[in-house]
Amino acid sequence: MAVKRSRKCIDSVKSLASTTNTESPRRKIKLEAYEAIKKEESEPSLKVANEEIRISKHIKVEIEKSSLIEPNIFPFVDKEHESIGPKKWSQIYNEIVKMRAQFMAPVDTQGCERMPNTINPNIKQRNPRTYRFQLLISLMLSSQTKDEVNYDAMMKLHHGMIEKGFAEGLTLEAIENLSESEIDSYINKVGFHNRKSQYIKKTCQILREKYNGDIPKTIEEIVEFPGVGPKMGYLLLQNGWNINSGIGVDIHLHRLAQMWGWVPKNSKSPENTRLELEKWLPEKYWADVNPLTVGFGQVICPSKGSNCDLCSLASKGLCTSANKKLLRGSLTEERKNKLLSNRADLTKLIESL
């Protein structure tokens, strides 16, 4: 019974590294489960198998590596960089850092770089090669698709492949065994799914024939994959290989950078915005600026229906596009309820006002 009970605790805590909300009841339950494992190991009367002890110790290491830093905790701008770039850019950046620390946006768990570890806990540490492949697929599916929809498609692919007998779920080997129509049946809720099914199948063929089944390490090689542009490529290099060779600019960062004057108003595309940002933004912030601003754009400042009454950029006069009517209005119960139905839990941000 002791071994069986220890295994149950271990299974309960395995996904802890992907649980990022330290206040959630679910995390507390898992921490209690982990404490139960430690207690069982410390009692000599319980004959727990050596393998069980080894696994629990491994889990503890993974928790220490992966779970103690929240994914939406970003560093502030260094003093030495404050005078670089457009006027007040560092003030804007730092205010976003403060706001983002108070809520979890979809990008924090369902964004492309986070998603593989969310659906397959600790895959980045356990199997970096598989992580890179899953990251590539999530990026390919993300175009013209919300994170939540992309996440659902990735979950279907991952669990579908497990059901077909592939232990790590979504892998190159698993996708190679699917036809384009079968791939499409898993991803048919994402934008342009028919085309993406073709792209994924072709990319798998290229990976196998040219790169021994792994992701290449240069942006020039990556953007040769069908449907993969610079944004995807730079994010893939940053998170898959820890190579920081450019900024991944999506539509949120493109829009917000124009609004704040970080790039010219006539910057026509995310690629133009990337080139403009890379002229002045220190490389230290290249990897963080996308997830930082994407989460802000998803929750606080979407393209439609902004929440300026919650935004410190608006209240501190750092954003010239602020909705003055919202700023003058009071935070009524009706307004609070509307805010609480957002894509993220804004309770802490509301309470901080």
Tens-level pLDDT at each residue, the chain (353 residues)? 333 333 434 443 344 433 444 444 434 434 444 444 344 334 333 333 343 333 333 333 333 333 333 556 899 999 999 999 999 999 999 999 999 999 999 999 899 999 999 999 999 999 999 999 999 999 999 999 999 999 999 999 999 999 999 999 999 999 999 999 999 999 999 999 999 999 999 999 999 999 999 999 999 999 999 999 999 999 999 999 999 999 999 999 999 999 999 999 999 999 999 999 999 999 999 999 999 999 999 999 999 888 999 999 999 999 999 998 888 888 899 999 999 888 899 999 999 88
Quote the pLDDT of residue 70. Answer: 52
The closest of 347, 318, 277 to 85, measured between CA atoms, is 277
Quote the pLDDT of residue 306. Answer: 84
The closest of 161, 162, 167, 203 to 182, measured between CA atoms, is 161
Catalytic residues: 231
d(CA 99, CA 310): 9
d(CA 286, CA 304): 26
Quote the pLDDT of residue 24. Answer: 42
d(CA 68, CA 187): 33
- For residue 57, what are the contacts with CB-CB under 8 A and spacing of at least 6? none
pTM of the model: 0.77
Answer for the pair 13, 33: CB distance below 8 angstroms, yes or no. Answer: yes
Instruction: Give residue 134's Cα distance to chain centre.
Output: 13
Quote the pLDDT of residue 133. Answer: 98
Answer for the pair 100, 74: CB distance below 8 angstroms, yes or no. Answer: yes
Answer for the pair 121, 17: CB distance below 8 angstroms, yes or no. Answer: yes
d(CA 263, CA 85): 10
Continuous segment of H or E residues that includes residue 207? helix 193-211
Answer for the pair 137, 154: CB distance below 8 angstroms, yes or no. Answer: yes
The closest of 169, 288, 276, 307 to 235, measured between CA atoms, is 288
Beta strands in the chain (DSSP E): none
Answer for the pair 299, 310: CB distance below 8 angstroms, yes or no. Answer: no
The closest of 211, 267, 276, 226 to 246, measured between CA atoms, is 276
